[in-house]
Structure 1
Amino acid sequence: MRYNGKEIASWDLNSIKRFWDFASNEPLKYFTYMVGDKIIKMLSNELKQDHKILDYGAGIGFLSEKLLKKGFNVTSLDSSPDSIVLLKNKLSIFKNFSGAMDLESIKNQDLKFDIIFIVEVVEHLDDYYLNELLENVFKLITDNGIIIITTPNNEILENSYIYCPFSDLVFHRWQHVRKWDKFTLNEKLKEKGFNNNRMIETHFFNNPKWNGFNRKTIGGILEFLKLSIEKKKPHLVAIAKKN
């Protein structure tokens, strides 16, 4: 595939690892750091204190930590050995933390969960890994459990393309490889056995705060006003059940 005459880079496991190893050095840019509390608040009616929760693709643990602070029983899943070590070191202070592990460890223990969060993950996956994820989640969820997916809503991928003059390739700023809307995500979930699904178009942006007359403050206010005036809903939430 090409964009503006330049080839679009193909991500592989090595380039993805290098990208996120670098991105992890800027934790304040993580989605769950910025809006994790809003996600939990929005879904408060779905969450019960006795639920066993899995944070699938936990990364450096912002969502897991926010859930733990609210008293929920949380297990963190990640594929990166470095992330698992970080998660254990960071979250083991919580008595309600059930551990950080990779997928195989969870399968070997035959663990099941009432709630599985998959936050800002599905836009990063090609067909193979997307199907693998949803099939794994179907096996890990209890019969009456729910999965909660967040992803950009009807994203224009090209708006975040960056040209690299060193490789002469174009890539997405946040390693997104596909876009979703409420119809395509619902159909994919149905294909994988989730038939009782609710799609919510929303935005999780915080209301702008005045921190003095500077570029960041003005930019935040203008962006918030733009979204409000245009009534844009840049975030999509799927609440899905097996039955």
Structure 2
Amino acid sequence: MNQEKIWDYFQNNPEIGSLAFNADARYRFIANKIVSGSDVLNIGVGKGGLELMLLDKRVNVYCLDPNKESIRKIQEEFGLAERAKFGYAQAIPFDDSSFDVVVMSEVLEHLSDEVLNKTVKECHRVLRKGGRFIGTVPADEVLLESRVVCPDCGKVFHRWGHLQEFSEQRLRQLLERQFDRCVISRHYFGNWQTLNWKGKISWLLKKICVFLGIRGSSENFFFSAWKKQ
């Protein structure tokens, strides 16, 4: 599966992209975990929604993405000519100990086993001592449930290009191979502002269920992993 073709389509299509990255609630949650003045690297820019929120908080934003067109737009629209770079998470083009926080939200599930392990090591490398690696992944996703088939070539693939599924235990094991400590919590990030009244009732019920520990679909794990002081 060519992940780059998938994300070039979703990130740079003005109509589809607005639907695919309707993630304001998730971005706000992440932005609230970051203090003003921090040096933050966001890996996987989408359409720049998180970058915009962090810039509004006066965070020193850097970003990395494997899509050149997306990076060009971020550089031009947000004035990040030197801070937004084309590249890959398994080979981050920044120096050791450069950042207070590294963010990867809805990215890790797209990586192969080899790339995933290299990526976590790279995030650890570019963090300062005491820095945090934070982000989200789908919670307890079953990849088979989202497989589709191309009607032209017959290729079977995950509709969003996911290659990994994470239980809380697996996510913790992955992070604790590199990081000193990690905290994982379960959330539902539906966007209240875009819903009609029926959707808002469902949103509220979903929030209550997650609070009570009743697991369901379309939920996410938020993780924070600390580099040793």
Secondary structure in 2 matching 1:18? helix
**Matching of residues 110-189 of structure 1 within 5 Å:** 112-189=98-175
CA drift of 1:64 comes to 0.9
Instruction: Specify the code of the residue in structure 2 equivalent to 1:227.
Output: K
Question: In 2, are the aligned partners of 1:146 and 1:241 still within 8 Å (CA)?
Answer: yes
Question: In 2, are the aligned partners of 1:39 and 1:204 still within 8 Å (CA)?
Answer: no
Residue of 194, 198, 220 corresponding to 2:179: 194
Aligned sequence identity (%): 26
Q: Residue 117 and residue 78 in structure 1: after superposition, are their counterparts in 2 closer, same or farther (change >3 A)?
A: same
Distance 1:100 1:89 in 2: 10
Aligned equivalent of 1:40: 31
Question: In 2, are the aligned partners of 1:114 and 1:142 still within 8 Å (CA)?
Answer: yes
Question: In 2, are the aligned partners of 1:123 and 1:179 still within 8 Å (CA)?
Answer: yes
TM-score normalised by structure 2 residue count: 0.83
Aligned equivalent of 1:23: 10
Aligned equivalent of 1:82: 69
Ranges in structure 1 where 5+ consecutive residues have no aligned partner: 1-10, 212-216
**Matching of residues 33-112 of structure 1 within 5 Å:** 33=24, 35-41=26-32, 43=33, 47-92=34-79, 99-103=83-87, 106-107=93-94, 112=98
Question: In 2, are the aligned partners of 1:73 and 1:98 still within 8 Å (CA)?
Answer: no
Instruction: Specify the code of the residue in structure 1 equivalent to 2:191.
Output: N
Residue of 169, 178, 189 corresponding to 1:204: 189
Deviations 1:159-192 (A, max 9, x none): 222222212122111111111121101101112x
Q: Residue 209 and residue 164 in structure 1: after superposition, are their counterparts in 2 closer, same or farther (change >3 A)?
A: closer
Q: Residue 135 and residue 31 in structure 1: after superposition, are their counterparts in 2 closer, same or farther (change >3 A)?
A: farther
Aligned equivalent of 1:224: 203
Q: Residue 111 and residue 98 in structure 1: after superposition, are their counterparts in 2 closer, same or farther (change >3 A)?
A: farther
Secondary structure in 2 matching 1:150? strand
TM-score normalised by structure 1 residue count: 0.78
Q: Residue 210 and residue 77 in structure 1: after superposition, are their counterparts in 2 closer, same or farther (change >3 A)?
A: closer
Secondary structure in 1 matching 2:93? helix
Ranges in structure 2 where 5+ consecutive residues have no aligned partner: none
| The structure with more radius of gyration | 1
Question: In 2, are the aligned partners of 1:124 and 1:177 still within 8 Å (CA)?
Answer: yes
Equivalenced residue count is 215
Aligned equivalent of 1:3: none
Instruction: Specify the code of the residue in structure 2 equivalent to 1:119.
Output: S
Distance 1:133 1:54 in 2: 13
Secondary structure in 2 matching 1:175? coil
What is the RMSD computed on CA atoms of the aligned residues?
Answer: 2.5
Secondary structure in 1 matching 2:83? strand
Q: Residue 39 and residue 49 in structure 1: after superposition, are their counterparts in 2 closer, same or farther (change >3 A)?
A: closer
Deviations 1:180-219 (A, max 9, x none): 121101101112x2121001111112336664xxxxx64x
Deviations 1:44-97 (A, max 9, x none): xxx2222111111223321111111121111111122222211101111x8xx8
